[in-house]
């Protein structure tokens, strides 16, 4: 049966990040995409000009309308904009009976905040405890864990700390470290690393959104967490390598990259 996945995130009219990236990724994974909007950005591949948050009531109403009808098999959050929206989404998530991937988006590629400072605390207190998987990059892991995260060892410590805050599992993404792009997954018991070679390109706009959407799609399809992360990692690596070179700034990745289900142990699923 066709599975649905819901993204609760912001709009990037240039199509590379936010709900646009999420929906394209869901589609590529064969999952029916649904989107509840939290904010609108005015941006292209060069610059973010404006960020306008929707009212928290309007965000909650979109989520509830979707849940009352086409029940998703997984959901993800992206840019949430402010504390009131974080709280509204967290309150709605209390009733989710499917896995929620929380991508704690904080700053855009251009250094523009996607969430107000005071919302960080709300993410820690209200949203992280509802996360089946939390997917911070290094600076988000630092902001949420409260210490510097610049090594694999520190990534492990941060993953452990964020699990203690209530996330079922944490994937700390090391793409911004030098060397290979290694991500650390901790599920409260064991650590696992996911590696890909570094790609030298400026076209990485929407990488985080696309990666977490790919994980959510795998979960919606009923894949175990490790398999969903392994396939999503291969997908985002291929998507960055195959970027179409669009735009005058940091362009989008290739949302038509091949989806492969190899399983964590290399067994073809």
Q: Given the rule CB under 6 A, which of 12-20, 217-225, 233-241, 260-268 is the region that contacts ligand PXL?
A: 12-20
173 binds ligand PXL (CB under 6 A): no
Whether residue 148 contacts residue 154, with contact meaning beta carbons closer than 8 Å, is answered with yes
- Max distance between CA atoms of the chain, in angstroms, equals 46
105 binds ligand PXL (CB under 6 A): yes
Considering the complex, what minimum distance in angstroms separates the CB of residue 131 from ligand PXL? 17
99 binds ligand PXL (CB under 6 A): no
Partners of 37 in beta bridges: 9
119 binds ligand PXL (CB under 6 A): no
Instruction: Please say which residue, 128 or 163, places its beta carbon nearer to ligand PXL.
Output: 128
Reduce the DSSP state of residue 175 to 3 states and report it. coil
Tokens describing residue 128 = 């992280």
- Taking CB atoms, the residue at the shortest distance from ligand PXL is 18
161 binds ligand PXL (CB under 6 A): no
Considering the complex, what minimum distance in angstroms separates the CB of residue 264 from ligand PXL? 26
22 binds ligand PXL (CB under 6 A): no
Residues in the chain: 269
Active site residues: 173, 204, 206-209
Neighbours of 47 (CB within 10 A): 13
144 binds ligand PXL (CB under 6 A): no
Whether residue 137 contacts residue 108, with contact meaning beta carbons closer than 8 Å, is answered with no
> What is the DSSP track for 15-47?
SSSHHHHHHHHHHHTT-EEEEEEEEEEEE-SS-
CA dist., res. 30 & res. 221, Å (int): 9
Q: Given the rule CB under 6 A, which of 68-76, 115-123, 161-169, 206-214 is the region that contacts ligand PXL?
A: 206-214
175 binds ligand PXL (CB under 6 A): no
């Amino acid at each position: 049966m066709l599975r649905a996945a819901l993204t609760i995130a912001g709009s990037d009219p240039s199509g590379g990040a936010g709900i646009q990236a999420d929906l394209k990724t869901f589609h590529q994974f064969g999952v029916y995409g649904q989107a509840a909007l939290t904010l609108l950005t005015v941006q292209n591949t060069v610059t973010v000009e404006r960020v306008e948050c929707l009212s928290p009531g309007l965000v909650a109403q979109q989520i509830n309308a979707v849940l009352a009808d086409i029940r998703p098999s997984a959901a993800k959050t992206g840019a949430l904009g402010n504390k009131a929206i974080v709280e509204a989404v967290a309150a709605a998530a209390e009733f989710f009976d499917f896995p929620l991937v929380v991508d704690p988006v904080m700053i855009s590629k251009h250094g523009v905040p996607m969430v107000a400072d005071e919302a960080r605390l709300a993410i820690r207190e209200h949203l992280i405890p509802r996360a089946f998987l939390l997917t911070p990059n290094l600076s988000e892991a630092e902001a949420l864990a409260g210490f510097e995260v610049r090594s694999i060892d520190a990534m492990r410590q941060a993953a452990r700390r964020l699990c203690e805050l209530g996330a079922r599992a944490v994937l700390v993404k090391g793409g911004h470290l030098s060397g290979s792009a290694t991500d650390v997954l901790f599920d409260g018991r064991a650590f696992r690393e996911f590696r890909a070679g570094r790609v030298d390109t400026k076209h990485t706009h929407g990488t985080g959104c696309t990666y977490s959407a790919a994980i959510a799609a795998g979960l919606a399809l009923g894949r175990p967490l490790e398999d969903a992360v392994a396939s999503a990692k291969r997908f985002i690596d291929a998507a960055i390598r195959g970027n179409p070179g669009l735009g005058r700034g940091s362009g989008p990745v290739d949302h038509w990259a091949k989806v492969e289900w190899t399983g964590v142990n290399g067994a073809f699923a």
